[in-house]
Amino acid sequence: MAAQIYSGEKYASRRREISANLAKRPEFHDSKPLPFMTREEKILESSRKLTLISKHMNEIIDPSDKRELYHLNCEVLGIEGNPMALHGDMFIPALTAQASDEQQEKWLSRALRREIIGTYAQTELGHGTNLRKLETIATYDVDTQEFVLHTPQITALKWWPGNLGKSSNYAVVVALMIIKGKNYGPQTFMVPLRDEKTHQPLKGITIGDIGPKLAYNIVDNGFLGFDHYRIPRTNLLMRHTRVEPDGTFVKPPHAKINYSAMVHVRSYMITGQAIMLAYALTIATRYSSVRRQGQIDTTQPEVKVLEYQTQQHRLFPSIARAYAFVFAGAETVRLYERVLQEVETGNVSLMADLHALTSGLKSVVTHQTAQGIEQARMACGGHGYSQASYISEIFGVAVGGCTYEGENLVMLQQLARYLVKSAGLVQAGQSSKLGPLVAYLGAKSDSTSLIDRTPTPGFAEYVKTFQHIARKQTLKAAQKLFGFMEKGDTREVAWNKSTVELNRASRLHTRLYIVEAFVRRVEEVADPRLKEVLTDLLRLHVNYELLDVAAYALEDGFLSSSQLDYIREQLYFYLAKIRPNAVSLVDSWEFSDRELRSVLGRRDGNVYENLFAWAKASPLNKTDVLPSVDKYLKPLMESARASKL
Ligand SMILES: CCCCCCC/C=C/C(=O)SCCNC(=O)CCNC(=O)[C@H](O)C(C)(C)COP(=O)(O)OP(=O)(O)OC[C@H]1O[C@@H](n2cnc3c(N)ncnc32)[C@H](O)[C@@H]1OP(=O)(O)O
Ligand SMILES: Cc1cc2nc3c(=O)[nH]c(=O)nc-3n(C[C@H](O)[C@H](O)[C@H](O)COP(=O)(O)OP(=O)(O)OC[C@H]3O[C@@H](n4cnc5c(N)ncnc54)[C@H](O)[C@@H]3O)c2cc1C
């Protein structure tokens, strides 16, 4: 099953080898539990491990293999980030996609060798979503052939970029480019921030950490201001866009090609989110198979809480989603890599499809992942609330994905733009022009769903029902938009009046895509034992998801209430059928205890002994009487006692 999850036996076994290798190297392990450390200690500890990784990486992984590096980072550095997180996640991808060959020779090679540390500085105090209104300006000085970076007011301060605050000495900075008074919109520049020897900020740079966050606190998200800070013209990233010495602007082949680093993260984060969801579910499912509380049959001992239907309903649909997301994530990365190659050869035609797909997936997957992790926490009762479970940290890191790389409700609208265009083609009788991701919009629905009308309904009946729902909502929302415009609203006003419905269409389209990705993968599985288990999981998934969106199909009679009953019964049937395999389904992700960092979710199942040992190790228990008691509580109680006398 691990080979299914990790798209092949080769990587699945490499993961095992890497974990086994690390198990023998205690210097790579956390020196104490992360929740017992202050933020400063965590950053120090992470830097220590990062340095070890840099030194010994070649002994453990093939450094050219991104997936092996990812696994090494998960094991050693973990999800709370590290001082070079953005270096790998965005700085290097931005240089790879946007720097010219000459620039790559100068900077990318140094970045890959870790001679310099960089980040991606785009978001500002005043603007994150609306990039066209960023306020940092890069004004071209023709005489000196330099760009002058400037922060004209407080809202123009860069704010949020990861590792900007304390770790990075370079950044790819996004600023509005002004040449001879003309605004050429957001462009990307390579900017030195700190002295390479002393690490002191360079003259003209104001820089620092923005303070603690919900989670992800090993990363020093930072602020950055420029005071008429000069960089050479050749620091504009010029793979696709150019500015000649005389200030002539040479347009890129696609207006949004500078957004490539964001598309990179959106493509990869689907898998990252699946893994975080699977972390939380591994912890909760294992714990639920140890925790005994209450009885189902009063003549029998207390049951494992995993026997309760409610517990299964709380966890198993999310287990199915984690599988669905990892399968969809693998497809997304393949498409991303293909588009990247095609852009290199000048073909930008697939950029819009990739942008639409990743915008929708990013939004739906992060939202459902956060929901699933929170349910996993609650499934662990009181112990879920303890940091010993580590689920609160997993939640904090994962839920950040709802905001970064484009706020979810905003990104759903990006997909909606694509869907509306597609609906326009359908309306104009040009369905043949629809791309493969939206071809279903041009098809005709059956009059009713055939779910439960055939002896064993196949997945095709479910897919058709999801298609019907997504198609109906897309065409209806687009019609709403067009209707407002026909009545005289501008497109922007009409858009704003239709966005709740448009975003619903985007979600339904994306959920359909996820179901289809799951079906595609299950159809490929050859091993009959794996196929059976994955088919059960897929059946659980389609029934659970359909029940969740059934209102759309009930309102036009595509589904009947008796079919809804059937879907519910199927759901309950598959909850029970999956129960014996539940622990194996989460264990198949093969997370080591080191990677999981959860006392509650350890593989040995010795939950109570482990919790007690953890509590005893808590820094507060180093002494019986805390200074706070000596200083305040004792005098408080003493004076209360005295006043009673
Ligand atoms: C485990 C933890 C890891 C933690 C790592 C965390 C790292 C986090 C990093 C960050 O958050 S970096 C900052 C990320 N910021 C954003 O994502 C900002 C979101 N905003 C945008 O992306 C854009 O502003 C926007 C919402 C896409 C709008 O851009 P713009 O105003 O320029 O465009 P529109 O007028 O709306 O659309 C025009 C047109 O362009 C198409 N388009 C937009 N983006 C792309 C793209 N990337 N590729 C291809 N096409 C794109 C868009 O669809 C429109 O097309 P048409 O509909 O006109 O055909
Ligand atoms: C953990 C984390 C890491 C980050 N790392 C980086 C980084 O490395 N580099 C970097 O540059 N940035 C980074 N960011 C910033 C991040 O990309 C932005 O916060 C994000 O893009 C959202 O933008 P915003 O903060 O401006 O939200 P806003 O746009 O202010 O969102 C506020 C509300 O307004 C709504 N809204 C905004 N515009 C519209 C619209 N057009 N239509 C309808 N509703 C709208 C949103 O839906 C939301 O409900 C990070 C953020 C976080 C949380």
Whether 492 is in the pocket of ligand 1, judged by its Cβ within 6 Å, is no
CB atoms < 10 A from the CB of 59, how many?
A: 8
Q: Which atom of ligand 2 is nearest to the CA of 163?
A: 8
Judge if 305 and 240 occupy the same domain: no
Query: Cβ–Cβ contacts within 10 Å for residue 523, how many?
Result: 12
- CA-to-CA distance for 373 and 282, rounded, in angstroms? 10
Q: Which residues of the chain have pLDDT under 50?
A: none
Tens digit of each residue's pLDDT (9 = 90 or more) over 543-553: 999 999 999 99
- Give residue 235's domain range: 118-252
Largest interatomic CA distance in the chain: 92
Tell me if 123 CB under 6 Å of ligand 1. yes
Q: How far, in Å, are 233, 305, 306 from residue 293 at the CA level? A: 68, 6, 10
C-beta of 76 in contact with ligand 1 (< 6 A): no
- Alpha carbon nearest to ligand 2 atom 29, residue: 129
Minimum CA distance residue for ligand 1 atom 43: 256
585, 615, 631: which is the final residue of a domain? 585
Residue 259 Cα to ligand 1 midpoint, Å, equals 6
Q: Which residues contact 364 (CB under 8 A, 6 or more apart)?
A: 507, 510, 511, 514
- My answer on whether 469 and 365 are in the same domain is yes
Rounded distance between C-alpha atoms, residue 388 and residue 597, angstroms: 8
Task: Indicate whether 178 and 269 sit together in one domain.
Answer: no
On whether 123 is known to bind a ligand per the annotation, the reply is: yes
**What pLDDT does residue 458 have?**
83
Catalytic residue among 405, 516, 545, 595: 405
- Domain CATH for 406: 1.20.140.10
For the CA of 418, the nearest atom of ligand 1? 57
Contacts of 135 (CB under 8 A, 6+ apart): 124, 126, 127, 151, 152, 153, 155, 156, 176
Neighbours of 70 (CB within 10 A): 17
Q: Is ligand 2 within 6 A of the CB of residue 129?
A: yes
Q: Phi/psi zone of residue 405: left (φ > 0), alpha (ψ -120 to 50 degrees), beta?
A: left
Taking the alpha carbons at both ends of the chain, their separation in whole angstroms is: 71
Asked, for residue 422, whether it belongs to a domain, the answer is yes
Establish how many alpha carbons lie within 13 A of residue 391's alpha carbon, considering only the half-sphere containing its beta carbon: 31
The DSSP result for 551-613, as a single string, is HHHHTTTSS-HHHHHHHHHHHHHHHHHHGGGHHHHHHTT---HHHH--STT-TT--HHHHHHH
Q: Are residues 224 and 277 in the same domain?
A: no
Would you say the CB of residue 162 lies under 6 angstroms from ligand 2? yes
Pocket probe for ligand 1: among 405, 414, 418, the residue whose CB has the most ligand atoms within 8 Å is 414
pLDDT, tens digit, for every residue of 288-318?
Answer: 999 999 999 999 999 999 999 999 999 999 9
Closest Cα to residue 66, out of 261, 268, 216? 268
- How is the chain split among helix, strand and coil, in percent rounded to 5? 60, 10, 30
- For residue 304, the model assigns a pLDDT of 98
Same domain, 78 and 182: no
Tokens of 163: 């590792």
Q: What SS3 state is found at 158?
A: strand
- Give the closest residue (by CA) to ligand 2 atom 21: 406
DSSP secondary structure string, 75-138? Answer: HHT-TT--TTHHIIIIIHHHHHHHS-HHHIIIIIHHHHTTSS-EEEE--BSS-SS-GGG---EE
User: What is the rounded distance in angstroms from the CA atom of residue 16 to the CA atom of residue 554?
Assistant: 47
Ligand nearest to the CA of 121: 2
- Residue 27 maps to a domain: yes
* Same domain for 26 and 151: no
Residue 365 lies in a domain: yes
- My answer on whether 213 and 351 are in the same domain is no
In the chain, % of residues over pLDDT 90: 98
Task: For residue 413, report the distance from its CA to the centre of ligand 1, in Å.
Answer: 10
Separation CA 459–CA 517 (nearest Å): 12
Nearest-ligand number for the alpha carbon of 217: 2
Shared domain check, 385 and 490: yes
Question: What pTM, to 2 d.p., does this model score?
Answer: 0.98
For the chain, the domain total comes to: 3
- Choose which residue among 160, 213, 408 to substitute to test ligand 2 binding: the one with the highest number of ligand atoms within 8 A of its C-beta: 160
Would residue 638 show up in a list of annotated catalytic residues for this protein? no
**Euclidean distance between CA atoms 599 and 30, whole angstroms:** 14
pLDDT, position 294: 97
**Pocket of ligand 2 contains residue 384 by CB under 6 Å:** no
Last residue of a domain, one of 228, 252, 276: 252
Question: Does 537 reside within a domain?
Answer: yes
188 and 54 fall within a common domain: no
Copy the structure tokens of residue 601: 């979710």
Identify the nearest ligand to the CA of 165 by its number.
Answer: 2
Rounded (10°) CA dihedral 231, 235, 240, 242: 50
- The answer to whether residues 316 and 337 belong to one domain is yes
Predicted pLDDT of residue 457: 66
Asked if 399 and 533 sit in the same domain, the reply is yes
* Contact present, 472 and 556 (Cβ < 8 Å): yes
DSSP state of 308: S
